[in-house]
Amino acid sequence: MYQALYRKWRPQTFDDVYGQPHVTKTLKNELQRGRISHAYLFTGSRGTGKTSCAKILAKAVNCLHPVDGNPCNACEICRGIDGGSILDVIEIDAASNNSVDNIRDLREEANFTPVNTTYRVYIIDEVHMLSIGAFNALLKTLEEPPAHVIFILATTEIHKLPATILSRCQRFDFKRIDAQEITRRLQYIAGQEQISLTDGAAHLIARIADGGMRDALSLFDRCLASGTDIDEAQVSAAAGIADTARMFDFSKAIAAQDFPAALALCAKLYAESGDVKSICSELTLHFRNLLIARVVKNCEGLIICSAEELQQLKERAASVSLSRLLDCLAVLTETAATLKTAVNQRVTLEAALVRLCALQGADPAPAPELSARLAALETAVAALSAGQEPQTKAPAAEEPEQPPLPEAPAPPPAAQQASAAPVPPASPALPDGPFEAWAEVLDKLKTYDVPLFGILADTSAQVRSSRLLINSDNPTLFDFICKDTHSRALSRAVAETLGFRMKIAVSNVEKPKEAVSPLERIKSKIQDFNENQ
């Protein structure tokens, strides 16, 4: 009968346990010195080796020929425990045996001496599922068990255990297994099983497993259903997620604000039975990798991927602004939370993609004078690093020739004595009335800010007291324009149309009504009553 990979390759000694050296080394030292505790508590996320270590420990304390703290796996005790013929090692599932009566039976059974072994070992898995009464029934036995009894408690939710239980156990915290460790283990198993597994596929399985070796082997087993040559496409199909190439297609469409391309990709994945939550999760991870590649120079240890994919991430991240990456992650995180209760998950994801495409684009290019200053600073830093004396004065950027200003009339004598400071010339004032160039401003705005253009498409504008007033009945328009990105885009469109900047305001916005005090309300009611009499 076929045996699943995670069962076939379950660790048999402490040396076979991957990613938990702080646990296995301590347990081996205790066994070698004979300092065996009466109660152990193993806690950590799923698939990290808690139950495997519990079984190894149960064999090691009873092994007839231990080797450096490890069980020999050859004596009759080790073989009997592995085969289930020795009844002195009892595994209990607390999820289905969580009542007070179950613990009372265990407590009475613990008083009997073991038949074949030195210690009677109780492995209680998912111990957090015990009821309060069951915990209370276990307390006394857990604190002062018979000399021949060892308790090993395993849980994934340590916060649900009472403090009285925690204080009576020797606690070991199992960490999530590093993705590189999982990748090496998968490649070793693939070699032993004569299976072709590409590096990209192994990296992808390790990333999906999220620190759980059992999850990684289960997914690897699922991939074998389609053949013994495993690549990234097969892993993506088995896990129900989009592959790496499609994630780059998504980020390319979002960066280019290509609404049709992003929605077409979503529709294609949905038609291929792709799970919407998995697509959102993969997109979140992809933008997280882009963010890391943008802010960390040497990010090889923070991103689990191939060298080619890492180079693609760096190139794509360099073309997207940091603020936009953060906005994308915020939208995707909010969408992932919404998908849990969404009536139509596909519609929710498509709305999120539209929001992502509508975000602002890459960072604007720095002004020429700013570029010159940055170049001068970099030169000075390089000179200091080389032990040279930096230039005391940075080279000045070439300033464009300015047209001569018209001569102003001579000020009166009093004004001449008041101040000699120059006064900057004011922008040319436009006459009050309709703003005829509003259509041209909207055309320019269409290239800078698509969402704002859509809101302002049916509005008009006028000039009043050297200000540009936007006529609109939309009460939320003012708050929308006040956002930093939208206000800058609108100011830029106006400045490029007129050649100078103008102050912008919104007219016809309803103001909130002032609250009426209770005293005034009572006065009004008395007045109405007197008038009606």
Residues 34 and 142 in one domain: yes
Which of 198, 222, 239 is at the close of a domain?
239
Residues 34 and 81 in one domain: yes
The pLDDT of residue 166 is: 92
- Separation CA 186–CA 35 (nearest Å): 35
Quick: pLDDT tens for 114-169. Answer: 888 999 999 999 999 999 999 998 988 888 888 999 999 999 999 999 999 999 99
Residues 142 and 261 in one domain: no
CA proximity to 70, closest of 109, 99, 29: 29
Cβ-based burial of 338 (10 A; exposed 0-12, middle 13-18, buried ≥19): middle
The pLDDT of residue 39 is: 93
Residues 233 and 311 in one domain: no
Residues 92 and 48 in one domain: yes
Domain extent for 210: 177-239
Residues 147 and 166 in one domain: yes
Residue 301 lies in a domain: yes
Quick: pLDDT tens for 396-439. Answer: 444 444 444 444 455 455 444 434 444 444 456 677 888 888 88
Mean pLDDT of the chain, nearest integer: 81
- Separation CA 39–CA 168 (nearest Å): 7
Which carries the bigger pLDDT value, residue 449 or residue 290? 290
- CATH number for the domain harbouring residue 476: 3.30.300.180
Cβ-based burial of 275 (10 A; exposed 0-12, middle 13-18, buried ≥19): middle
Separation in Å, CA 514 to CA 206, 325, 473, 511, 517: 60, 41, 20, 9, 9
Q: How many domains does the chain have?
A: 4
pTM greater than 0.85 (yes/no): no
- Separation CA 94–CA 51 (nearest Å): 13
Which of 362, 377, 393 is at the close of a domain?
362
Residues 253 and 321 in one domain: yes
Residues 20 and 69 in one domain: yes
Q: Which of 33-42, 381-390, 494-503, 506-515 has the highest mean pLDDT?
A: 33-42
Which of 300, 330, 362 is at the close of a domain?
362
Residue 75 has pLDDT above 60, yes or no: yes
Residue 54 has pLDDT above 90, yes or no: yes
Q: Which of 222-226, 429-433, 481-485 has the highest mean pLDDT?
A: 222-226
Residues 29 and 135 in one domain: yes
Residue 381 lies in a domain: no
> What's the rounded mean pLDDT across residues 447-460?
78
- CATH number for the domain harbouring residue 45: 3.40.50.300
Residue 18 lies in a domain: yes
Residues 159 and 194 in one domain: no
Residue 370 lies in a domain: no
Cβ-based burial of 533 (10 A; exposed 0-12, middle 13-18, buried ≥19): exposed
Residues 137 and 195 in one domain: no
Residues 27 and 106 in one domain: yes
- Within 10 angstroms of residue 304's Cβ, the number of other Cβ atoms is 19
The letter for the amino acid at 268 is K
- CATH number for the domain harbouring residue 345: 1.20.272.10
Contacts of 375 (CB under 8 A, 6+ apart): none
CA proximity to 260, closest of 276, 249, 271, 273: 249
